[in-house]
């Protein structure tokens, strides 16, 4: 039986470059590696005797470009896998999306240029004199570069975290522009939904809800999600992966329940996802979402200021980061710096300096 159109589309998407200058296409060797990983994850190695016995882990501590499986017919391997496990195509789709995102971010780290003095120089007035000009210039550049790569990480995570969770549980993420959930304050505006399922359930998925709010307006947005869903004919579902209690979580839970919604927190959240995902995709969620997030949450210090020492070194075309006894190295080939947009002046700029 030939591959279905849906399965062919999954392969085509994995092989496509994707958006942006650093978009990444997976080679057949990389795709074959992913199939090999899935075979190992699902305990099917005895049925694929042609695969290497010692395949690197997906989260192996090595350059992502080296995670390939040459000399293997990827399409034949994929076809055999989906015949054995029908849900394996969704598993491959989600794993490929995650791998492409990781490859793209590795390239961002390799190519993100350092800022120019035109960009950061004026900011030095805020701290001039606290450090020597040499030290302050380096600090300004490092600070802006770290901000830039973290901002890029946030952007790329938005393209992969909620989407793979949504697809794993049989739903899809929907942007505000295409959303069926309309804002009660403005019916012309839709709400971004992390996951919408065919049973008319709209999910708001969070790793952790913190006590600190990003402003009353933003918090009202959070609270309005449930009522906007209900008014649009959808059941609001709140999923918070970390069970750490706090007053904001209590308030948000109460709001969802008052709108006849559902709330799943901590272990209940993962159990809910597992039930929706089914036998195969629940293994994907456990291995590639649950375990990594739990590992990170366990390392969050009780006192935020008590972080381990970190050292950044950038020289001779290499980035070296030393933290908590580990060393991360990456070859760098920075792209030419593009002209940055001028920073806009605040609306009340004329009130900042006394004058006539």
Condensed to tens digits (0 to 9), the pLDDT of residues 63-114 reads: 899 999 999 999 999 999 999 998 999 999 999 999 999 999 999 999 999 9
Percent of the chain with pLDDT over 70: 92
Spatial distance between the Cα atoms of 114 and 134, rounded to a whole number of angstroms: 16
| pLDDT of the residue at 345 | 55
Q: For residues 133-141, give the mean pLDDT.
A: 96
Q: For residue range 310-355, what is the model confidence (pLDDT) as tens digits?
A: 999 998 899 999 999 999 999 999 987 654 455 665 665 455 566 5
pTM: 0.89
**pLDDT-derived band of residue 233, with 50, 70 and 90 as boundaries?**
very high
| Separation in Å, CA 85 to CA 26, 39, 78, 282 | 22, 10, 10, 13
Residue 200 pLDDT > 60: yes
Residue 141 neighbours by CB distance under 10 Å: 17
Beta strands in 142-234 (DSSP E): 172-174, 182-183, 186-190, 193-196, 201-206
**pLDDT-derived band of residue 159, with 50, 70 and 90 as boundaries?**
confident
Q: For residue range 272-301, what is the model confidence (pLDDT) as tens digits?
A: 999 999 999 999 999 999 999 999 989 988
Percent of the chain with pLDDT over 90: 78
**pLDDT-derived band of residue 21, with 50, 70 and 90 as boundaries?**
confident
Q: For residue range 204-213, what is the model confidence (pLDDT) as tens digits?
A: 999 887 665 5
- Tell me how far the alpha carbon of residue 207 is from its chain's centroid: 11
> What secondary structure letter does DSSP report for 259?
T
For residue 356, give every residue at least 6 positions away whose Cβ sits within 8 Å of its Cβ, in sequence order, or none. none
| pLDDT of the residue at 260 | 97
Q: For residues 43-50, give the mean pLDDT.
A: 92
Choose among 117, 145, 126, 167: nearest CA to 273.
167
Beta strands in the chain (DSSP E): 172-174, 182-183, 186-190, 193-196, 201-206, 235-240, 262-265, 310-315, 318-323, 326-331
Largest Cα–Cα separation, the chain: 84
**Coil, strand or helix: which one is 297?**
helix
């Amino acid at each position: 039986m030939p591959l279905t159109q849906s399965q062919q589309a999954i392969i085509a998407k994995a092989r496509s470059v994707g958006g942006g200058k650093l978009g990444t296409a997976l080679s057949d060797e990389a795709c074959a590696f992913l199939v090999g990983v899935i075979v190992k994850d699902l305990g099917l190695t005895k049925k694929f005797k042609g695969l290497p016995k010692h395949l690197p882990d997906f989260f192996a501590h090595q350059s992502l470009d080296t995670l390939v499986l040459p000399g293997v017919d990827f399409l034949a391997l994929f076809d055999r896998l989906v015949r054995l496990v029908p849900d394996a195509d969704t598993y491959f789709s989600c794993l490929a999306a995650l791998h492409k995102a990781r490859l793209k971010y590795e390239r961002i780290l390799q190519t993100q240029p350092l800022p120019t003095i035109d960009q950061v120089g004026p900011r030095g007035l805020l701290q001039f004199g606290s450090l020597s000009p040499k030290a302050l210039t380096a600090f300004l550049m490092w600070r802006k570069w770290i901000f830039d790569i973290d901002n890029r990480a946030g952007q790329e995570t938005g393209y992969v975290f909620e989407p793979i969770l949504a697809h794993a549980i049989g739903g899809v993420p929907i942007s505000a522009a295409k959303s069926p959930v309309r804002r009660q304050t403005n019916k012309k505006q839709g709400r971004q939904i992390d996951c919408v399922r065919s049973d008319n359930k709209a999910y708001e998925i969070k790793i952790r809800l913190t006590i600190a709010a990003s402003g009353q307006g933003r918090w009202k947005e959070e609270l309005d999600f449930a009522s906007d869903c209900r008014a649009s004919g959808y059941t609001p579902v709140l999923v918070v992966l970390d069970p750490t209690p706090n007053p904001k979580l209590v308030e948000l839970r109460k709001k969802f329940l008052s709108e006849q919604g559902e709330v799943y927190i901590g272990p209940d959240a993962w159990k809910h996802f597992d039930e929706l995902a089914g036998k195969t995709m629940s293994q994907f969620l456990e291995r590639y979402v649950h375990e990594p997030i739990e590992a990170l949450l366990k390392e969050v210090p009780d006192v935020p200021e008590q972080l381990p020492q970190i050292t950044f070194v950038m020289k001779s075309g290499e980035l070296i980061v030393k933290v908590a006894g580990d060393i991360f190295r990456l070859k760098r080939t920075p792209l030419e710096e593009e002209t940055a947009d001028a920073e806009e002046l605040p609306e009340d700029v004329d009130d900042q300096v006394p004058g006539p």
